[in-house]
Amino acid sequence: MKKWIGFMLSVLAAGTMVMGGAATSHAAALTKEPAGKSAYLCDCETGTVVYAKNETERLPIASMCKIMTLLLTFEAVERGDLAYEEQITVSGHAAGMGGSQVFLGDGLSYSAESLMKSIAVCSANDSCVALAERIAGSEEAFIAKMNERAGELGAENTLFANCTGLPKEPQYSCAKDVSLMLRALLKHQKYFEFSRVWLEDFVHPDGRTTSMTNTNKLIRHYEGCDGGKTGFTNEAGYCLAATAHRGDTRLIAVVIGAESAKIRNASIASMFDEAFAEYATRTILQGGEPIAERAPVDGAKQKDIAVAPENSLVAFCKRADEGKFTVSVQLNENLRAPIAVGEAVGTAVLYRDGVEVSRTTLVAAEEAERYSWWDAFREGARQWSA
């Protein structure tokens, strides 16, 4: 059994949005339509769609498929299956990759971190294959994992044939799916240590160095841009998935099939400009900060304890529109001591005009110690002597 306590908050709100689940598009025309065959613009935190053009059309995406390669690598580290400092011996197959590369030496060993950085910075195909072979045993097995993970993310129009994006049939994705993959990758804060690098030398074990320059020029030329992945083949055209952050708002923009790198970059920058100008992120409940309602606890030294949302409840809002939000606080009934700080004690649910858009767990913000027989004895003695 649970009990419900509700309170109302009014903030600026977008006309349509969904948080914590599949985003609903309320995409409108931009002042300047992005170039390319396909484009997509959304809020990173909530997934709210700002603009979409042919967003589910299946197209080659070139090296943007390395977003998935990096995601699987970061997740392997997170699981404990791989360590950043682990030395990975490069196979002849990996060392022989063409296209963008850092010229890994056949039989030489490199740290996983250095290989990951080379993919994020200069799109190194050889590093992709070296990591794929280490994580899955072979590139083919890794590709199967890429496709499996794409399905888990809801990327319904994606099929990988390799981990590099080099031309190979059949292989395709779409602007919407690329945004889903990048959104997942951006949850790994270590990624930004790599993606923000502009120029750096890649040092080989045999003393050679390879200069790495970031393929995403917007990290230097667009305010707030700190990550993303470029791509180009004759078949795919010029592609870019990028992210930019200003204030509390982080955006993701994707362009597939532009005619030149200059046009591609200008389209992404223009999309960012309009979204930052028209939208804002509002924090309705701040994660970790106690709310007004307190949770009653049975068998505790104190009658109730402070509670706080585990994660923030936020709204990605169009600045010119207004909408009413309701936050319903659901506290578990019959909570009993002891309760540790951080223990789940309920749920906070955010509604917009009566429709649920997000929720987060409520956790204990202070400890509830058990009221022992010794505490009862001392209390009785105190009252007796009073």
**CATH number for the domain that contains residue 366:** 2.60.410.10
Joined together, the tokens standing for residue 249 give 């708002």
Out of 279, 307, 324, pick the residue that ends a domain.
Answer: 279
Question: Do 213 and 229 belong to one domain?
Answer: yes
pLDDT at residue 321, rounded to an integer: 67
Say if residue 176 is in the same domain as residue 107: yes
Instruction: Label each residue of the chain as H, E or C.
Output: CEEEEEEEEEEECCCCCCCCCCCCECCCCCCCCCCCCEEEEEECCCCCEEEEECCCCCECCHHHHHHHHHHHHHHHHHHCCCCCCCEEECCHHHHCCCCCCCCCCCCCEEEHHHHHHHHHHHCCHHHHHHHHHHHHCCHHHHHHHHHHHHHHHCCCCCECCCCCCCCCCCCEECHHHHHHHHHHHCCCCHHHHHHCCCEEEEECCCCCEEEEECCCCHHHHCCCEEEEEEEEECCCEEEEEEEEEECCEEEEEEEEEECCHHHHHHHHHHHHHHHHHHEEEEEEECCCCCCCCEEECECECCCEEEEEECCCEEEEEECCCEEEEEEEEEEECCCECCECCCCEEEEEEEEECCEEEEEEEEEECCCECECCHHHHHHHHHHHHHC
The predicted pLDDT at position 18 comes to 33
Taking only the tens of pLDDT, the chain with its 386 residues reads 344 444 443 333 333 333 333 343 445 678 889 999 999 999 999 898 999 999 999 999 999 999 999 999 999 999 999 999 999 999 999 999 989 999 999 999 999 999 999 999 999 999 999 999 999 999 999 999 999 999 999 999 999 999 999 999 999 999 999 999 999 999 999 999 999 999 999 999 999 999 999 999 999 999 999 999 999 999 999 999 999 999 999 999 999 999 999 999 999 999 999 999 999 988 889 999 999 999 999 988 889 999 999 999 988 888 876 667 889 999 999 899 999 999 999 999 998 788 887 899 999 999 998 876 544 445 554 555 55
- Judge whether 378 lies within some domain: no
- The pLDDT value given to residue 29: 72
d(CA 151, CA 156): 6
Instruction: Answer yes or no: is 31 within a domain.
Output: no
Select from 251, 279, 307 the last residue of a domain: 279
Catalytic residues, by residue number, are: 63, 66, 123
Residue where a domain terminates, one of 262, 279, 296: 279
Does residue 95 share a domain with residue 163? yes
The end-to-end CA distance of the chain, in Å, is 40
Residues 76 and 9 in one domain: no
- Structure-token match 């690598």, residue found: 73
Indicate the number of domains in the chain.
Answer: 2
CA-to-CA distance for 244 and 228, rounded, in angstroms? 9
In a domain, 314, yes or no: yes
For residues 9 and 90, membership in a common domain is answered with: no
DSSP-derived pairing of the beta strands 199-203 and 209-213: antiparallel
pLDDT of residue 384: 56
- What pLDDT was estimated at residue 22? 38
CATH of the domain at 76: 3.40.710.10
Residue 125 and residue 68 share a domain: yes
Considering the domain architecture, whether residues 353 and 233 belong to the same structural domain is answered as: no
Dihedral sign from CA coordinates of 313, 317, 320, 326? negative
Question: Are 135 and 248 contained in the same domain?
Answer: yes
Task: Check if the beta carbon of residue 271 is closer than 8 Å to that of residue 41.
Answer: yes
Please tell me whether residues 210 and 123 are part of one structural domain: yes
Rounded-to-integer distance, Cα 250 and Cα 39, Å = 17
Q: Do residues 153 and 253 share a domain? A: yes
Which domain covers residue 71, as residue numbers?
38-279
pLDDT at 148: 98
Please indicate, yes or no, if residue 102 is contained in any of the structural domains.
Answer: yes
